Structure 1
Amino acid sequence: MSAQDLSPAAKKTKLDGSANEEKLKKMIEKVKVVLLDIEGTITPITFVHDILFPYIRKHLSDYLDKHWKEAECQQDVEALRQLAAEDTKAGTPGAITIPAASDDSKERKNIIQAVIESVNWLMDADRKVTALKQLQGHMWKDGYVEGALMGQVYEDVVPILEQWKRARKDIYIYSSGSVGAQKLLFGYSTYGDLLYLFSGHFDTKIGMKVEADSYHKIAEEIKCQPEDILFLTDVVREAKPAEEAGLNVALVIRPGNAPLTDEDKQHYSTLTSFDVLQPDNEFMR
């Protein structure tokens, strides 16, 4: 079918698609830095929800028993204890208090049970809090090192990241998952160790992903102007504050991601594969 045979609506879709792709190509050519979300952007959303999160719920009790006397584990528990105290003080419905530290063996069981209930409650509520992410990261480390977990990355991602690196573009990760968890995912991926591709990692310690100030801080941290950064995410609530901060933004559409509204598709550039973000210079590929 030729372009002349297309209906007006089909022609508009075709033109819009071409304009969208052209805009994306211009973005990747002009920016110096690419800032990447993980879940739903470069990693299947099912990996987190169907593999990583269930791993925490299944192994939490054994992990606490095994590592309880270690300083790292106690630091994680104390961070969760303080968070629970803050939630309780704020009157957050469902918050579970974690008893104070104790050397008594019977009280230890009560503390561990409270930690388990608190972690499950935080996960059920999808809380993006550092205390939870910190414990999860330490647990996932055990899983990756033991071979029970391997990081999943979309097949179109790695070749393009390698092209960006050859084109001297810095690549950073910004995820609600802890920096430690990020490094484990990419260090133990199904494609091998991918950490060499990244110039740095950010998590919620820099700020929440739904706040414009977080993106200002990232730009300051990496000594780059916001307009020289391209942020790729699948979440509109993250795209908006990044755009407010002056970053270039594009939304990634992947299987299982939350659907975008027509308004979102009109406002933001979108992509279903990283292939459209190849640098133009052939020798960089």
Structure 2
Amino acid sequence: MTASRTTAPVHVVVDIEGTTSATGFITEQLYPYSRKHFAQLLDTRGTEPDVARAAAAVRELIGEPEAGTERIVEALNGWLDRDEKVTPLKTLQGVIWAEGFASGELTSHFYPDAIPALRAWHAAGHTLYVFSSGSVSAQLAWFGHSAEGSLLPLFSGHFDTETAGPKKIASSYDAIAAAVGETDPARFVFLSDLVEELDAAKEAGWRTVGVRRPGEPYYAKGVAGHPETDSFARIDLSGAEPVVR
């Protein structure tokens, strides 16, 4: 779909890892926390709809319909070791992290420029959304427990690979636009550190800004021609095209 170049973006959609927040915090703090709690979650809350659905999805993906807790945990940890964005893994991580944030054991991380920019965009009338491979429940816990308090009032919606689709295909961005009720894709701007995601959003007609923060896993890969920034503070959304100052 071709975007109109005369329409200013209104909807700001952000990724999390490497974009608003450091990937290292997630892999070094949250991943071990979820690994520690997988078995307990499956054994004590296995009949809850989200947990039961995720466990069934794991059994289907590994081709073992009778797999018990030990085998499911083994599969989850294997995906975690390879940092694979597998939906049932992300669902179970979200349930575990939500408990950790609610108990105060976990507090989310944001780059210093992220929260002020999100607040400024919201105050300027932009509607904010999240599209992450992390589950919606994980996103709600993450943005609800920052060091500056809950950021959830800033956001109008949250999307993951289950509700929208894979992040590297254009149809997922079409699905988000449909869910939001926006017929003009040019009114969206997507912020991500991964060029394949940016390419998919651009194919769907969205505006894009590549976020390249030193030390992040995809920094050296670049953003292949997308407007690029190392800070949200440099992004100007007031015109027909996003501008990086």
Q: Same fold (TM over 0.5)?
A: yes
Does 62-71 or 240-249 show the bigger shift?
62-71
Partner letter of residue 229 of structure 1? F
Q: Which residue of 2 aligns with 1:13?
A: none
Q: Which residue of 2 aligns with 1:204?
A: 161
Q: Which residue of 2 aligns with 1:190?
A: 147
Matched, 1:238 2:197: yes
Matched length: 231
Of residues 219, 223, 241 in structure 2, which corresponds to 1:259? 219
Q: Which residue of 2 aligns with 1:35?
A: 13
If the length of structure 1 is used for normalisation, what is the TM-score?
0.75
Partner letter of residue 197 of structure 1? L
Q: Which has the higher helix share?
A: 1
Larger Rg belongs to: 1
Of residues 176, 186, 201 in structure 2, which corresponds to 1:227? 186
Q: Which residue of 1 aligns with 2:234?
A: 276
Distance 1:215 1:279 in 2: 20
**Offset, 1:229:** 0.8
Of residues 34, 37, 56 in structure 2, which corresponds to 1:56? 34
Distance 2:155 2:46 in 1: 33
Q: Deviations 1:217-266 (Å, cap 9, x if unpaired)?
A: 1112212211111110000111111111111111101132223457x45x
5+ residue gaps in structure 1?
1-26, 86-96, 101-110
**Offset, 1:200:** 0.4
Q: Which residue of 2 aligns with 1:180?
A: 137
Sort the Cα spacing of 1:215 and 1:46 in 2 relative to 1 into closer, same or farther, 3 A. Answer: same
Does 29-38 or 72-81 show the bigger shift?
72-81
Residues 1-285 of structure 1: pairs in structure 2 closer than 5 A: 30-68=8-46, 70-85=48-63, 97=64, 99=66, 111-205=68-162, 206-224=164-182, 225-257=184-216, 258-261=218-221, 264=223, 267-278=225-236
Query: Which secondary structure does the structure 1 equivalent of 2:219 belong to?
Result: coil
Partner letter of residue 220 of structure 1? A
Query: Which secondary structure does the structure 1 equivalent of 2:138 belong to?
Result: helix
**Offset, 1:34:** 0.6
**Offset, 1:125:** 3.2
Distance 2:113 2:122 in 1: 15
The RMSD of aligned alpha carbons is 2.2
Query: Which secondary structure does the structure 2 equivalent of 1:250 belong to?
Result: strand
Sort the Cα spacing of 1:244 and 1:75 in 2 relative to 1 into closer, same or farther, 3 A. Answer: closer
Identity of aligned residues (%): 38
Sort the Cα spacing of 1:246 and 1:70 in 2 relative to 1 into closer, same or farther, 3 A. Answer: closer
2:46–2:52: 8 Å Cα contact kept in structure 1? yes
Q: Deviations 1:78-101 (Å, cap 9, x if unpaired)?
A: 22222222xxxxxxxxxxx3525x
Q: Deviations 1:159-212 (Å, cap 9, x if unpaired)?
A: 111111111110110000001100000111111110000010110021100001
2:8–2:186: 8 Å Cα contact kept in structure 1? no
If the length of structure 2 is used for normalisation, what is the TM-score?
0.86
Distance 1:141 1:98 in 2: 28
1:83–1:131: 8 Å Cα contact kept in structure 2? no
